[in-house]
Amino acid sequence: MSQMKSITPRHKQRNVGMAALALGALGVVFGDIGTSPLYSLQTLFSADGFAVKATTEDVFGVISLVFWTIMIVVTIEFVIFIMRADNDGEGGIMALIALVQTAVVKRPWVKPALVAAGLFGVALFFGDGMITPAISVMSAVSGLTVISPSAGNLVVPITLVVLTGLFVIQRFGTNLVGKLFGPVMVIWFLIIGLAGLLQLTDDASMLKALLPTYAVNFFINHFAISFIALGSIVLTITGTEALYADMGHFGRPAISRAWFLLVFPTLTLNYMGQGSLILDTPSSISNPFFLLFPDWAHIPMVILATVATVIASQAVISGAFSVAKQATRLGFMPRLKIKQTSNTEIGQVYAPAINWGLYVAVVALVVAFGSSAALASAYGIAVTGTLTIDTILFLVVVRKLWKRPLWIVWLAGIVFLTVNTLFLAANMTKLFHGGWFPVAIGVILLTLMLTWNRGRQHVTGIRAEREGSLREFLHEIQTLDPPVTTVPGTAVYLNAHRETAPMALRGAVNFNHAIHEQIVILSIETTKSPFVPDEERLTVDELGYTGDTIVHLTAKLGFKDTPDVPHLLELAVAEGLDEGIDVEHATYFLSHLDVVPGGPFEMAGWRKRIYCALSRNASSPTDYFCLPAARTITVGSQLAL
């Protein structure tokens, strides 16, 4: 009996914790896919250019395709399988890239090709971050036309006002507002599920659409129509990447439970309800989501839908900040100014450059396309492209890291890649009708990331040559005659390499013939893991220097950790760093290379100019490393790329 008392409270506590995580996941993870019913079926039945009609055969076939698309891609492929591929608990395409980089492959070109494919998926994710706020908020606001057709002229202006407010508040973070996201999305899912259920009580025949035979027959008997229809059906699975990418915040169990217990059932009910309504009233294809509700509920639903789409957009924008931070730490983007917006949640960050770049793109999309139906053409390629790349990288992880038999990889590849490539091919038919936008964004961002990565590797190599061996340099200092002068105080030199001498320190010796009494040389290494615990971050090396105190610190950070140098030094002191080193009043020295085009490096001239432009516009290392500006000195030199 006493044993029961000791176990039960912990069991209840775990259940409460899991429920809280699931509620949080509803507010962050499922906003995008949860608002897809606003526009997906409307786009499918009312779009011009192909003949999906409001007939019994077509409607049953389409609803069956929608259900089995969600079942195969979201439920089976991602929730059950791909979400098992985590990088120390973190998910998303950046986690897959990090995992693939650790794989051993025979052909040397395979890994760079896979990484490049993954980076293209990252670029498409940024395209998704531009389209999602535009199409989702515009779809919600367009519900006004159901109330009054004359309100159509107000849709774009109101959408722009809502989006402007959304991007303005990003700088304040989502810590406080985020507490409301989960309950609001619970209400959203319950209401849209109830609306579908009430419609089905009048005619439950739509339940037969759950049988896969309707999808198969529709696809076989009307291949051309159904193939093109896939381009709109894919809109029902937008946000699938978010399920995976936000796994690190909530964990796979919480996301899975929220999906199976609430999100999947209510989405299914709503789509079937819309299908039933279209059969009963074919004219409802103009806006089947809002027409599913009685007249008195239209205004409240427009308000609730707008709030839900703002939440969905918020999640995508925050995801873009997180991905940009990870890409920066892994060396695929220049330093960005990243602000931590929460004292407790490391994943809540704000990147001003990304925020306002997305805002400009979103406003341009709303004004240029003018309607959610037109934007839908641009949406599908970004979604299907990212999901296809996720699948390819996942299969590599299954084979190379998990060592699963080849027949399992082939079987999974045939099933999942067949589905993904069908959707991708169907969306490619929209390439000249808006689909070019995410492709163009993807190509541009991929070019920038690959250019930055290649140029950075070359500059890093040249810099290491200029810096020379740290131990040899320290030996030279000890043998100088006359010896170098020491000045009071502590100097902290940040250096990219643990084995080389900082250029700023060389300059102090060569030009001033003086060094500080206490010197800390700090090198930061980014691991392939998202986070590194404090107790595993620091390695101290005394370097064998017999003069004044010179120590070398190597700090290992995960690609999602914040490189806060003063905090790292505080950890070092707590772990026993020399007591004479005054971290609180230390002076920080940075070695800066001003890179200009025109050197011998084999890279196209236009790419050299791009790299130099990115280098000049990178965030200040003082801000990036959280250094006190009043005690930071930058020593610069020039390098021709």
Mean pLDDT (whole number) for 21-30: 79
Beta bridge partners of 525: 556
Residues 568 and 534 in one domain: yes
Residues 141 and 199 in one domain: yes
Q: H-type helices in 468-564, by residue range?
A: 470-479, 503-512
Between 6 and 635, the more confident residue is: 635
Question: Which pLDDT band holds residue 435 (cuts at 50, 70, 90)?
Answer: confident
Where in the sequence is the domain holding 597, given as residue range(s)? 469-640
**End residue of a domain, out of 453, 485, 506:** 453
Between 8 and 353, the more confident residue is: 353
9 part of a folded domain: no
Beta-carbon neighbour count of residue 341 at 10 Å? 18
Residue 175: which residues within 8 A CB-CB, separation 6 or more?
Answer: 341, 342, 344, 345, 348
Buried b (16+ CB within 10 A) or exposed e, 377-402: bbbbbbbbbbbbbbbbbbbbbbbbee
10 part of a folded domain: no
Residues 299 and 324 in one domain: yes
Of 87-91, 383-387, 601-605, the least confident: 87-91
14 part of a folded domain: no
299 part of a folded domain: yes
Question: C-alpha angle with apex 31: 445 to 301, nearest 5 degrees?
Answer: 130
- CA-to-CA distance for 615 and 306, rounded, in angstroms? 40
Residue given tokens 């051993």 in the structure block: 104
Mean pLDDT (whole number) for 49-67: 84
Residues 475 and 429 in one domain: no
Tokens for 436?
A: 């070019």
8 part of a folded domain: no
Q: Is the pLDDT of residue 83 over 50?
A: yes
Q: Nearest to residue 139, comparing CAs of 69, 39, 208? A: 39
Question: 564 by DSSP, 3-state: which?
Answer: coil
Tokens for 336?
A: 């960005």
**End residue of a domain, out of 453, 482, 503:** 453
What's residue 348's pLDDT?
A: 63
- CA-to-CA distance for 174 and 322, rounded, in angstroms? 13
Whether the upstream peptide bond of residue 482 has omega within 30° of 0, thus cis, is: yes
Mean pLDDT (whole number) for 208-225: 91
| Residues 55 and 282: beta-carbon distance below 8 Å | no
Average pLDDT of the chain, as a whole number:
85
Beta bridge partners of 490: 518
Residues 427 and 485 in one domain: no
Tokens for 633?
A: 């000195």
pTM: 0.82
Question: Which pLDDT band holds residue 49 (cuts at 50, 70, 90)?
Answer: very low
Going from the C-alpha of 478 to that of each of 333, 453, 468, 472, the distances in angstroms are 40, 38, 16, 10
Question: Which pLDDT band holds residue 2 (cuts at 50, 70, 90)?
Answer: very low
Overall domain count for the chain? 2
What's residue 47's pLDDT?
A: 58
Residues 425 and 487 in one domain: no
Q: Is the pLDDT of residue 113 over 90?
A: yes
383 part of a folded domain: yes
408 part of a folded domain: yes
| Residues 558 and 529: beta-carbon distance below 8 Å | yes
pLDDT, tens only, 460-469: 888 888 888 8
What's residue 100's pLDDT?
A: 92
Residues 178 and 313 in one domain: yes
Residues 165 and 313 in one domain: yes
| Residues 521 and 545: beta-carbon distance below 8 Å | no
Which burial class, exposed, middle or buried, applies to 440 when counting CB atoms under 10 A from its CB (0-12, 13-18, 19+)? exposed
Question: Of the ranges 60-74, 240-254, 485-499, which is most confident?
Answer: 60-74
Residues 419 and 501 in one domain: no
Residues 86 and 225 in one domain: yes
What's residue 407's pLDDT?
A: 95
pLDDT, tens only, 153-180: 888 999 999 999 888 888 776 555 556 6
Residue given tokens 């930058």 in the structure block: 634
Q: Report the CATH number at residue 292.
A: 1.20.1740.10
- CA-to-CA distance for 341 and 171, rounded, in angstroms? 8
pLDDT, tens only, 396-416: 999 999 999 999 999 999 999
pLDDT, tens only, 243-292: 888 787 778 888 999 999 999 999 999 999 999 999 999 889 889 999 99
Residues 449 and 494 in one domain: no
Residues 430 and 491 in one domain: no
**End residue of a domain, out of 392, 422, 453:** 453
552 part of a folded domain: yes
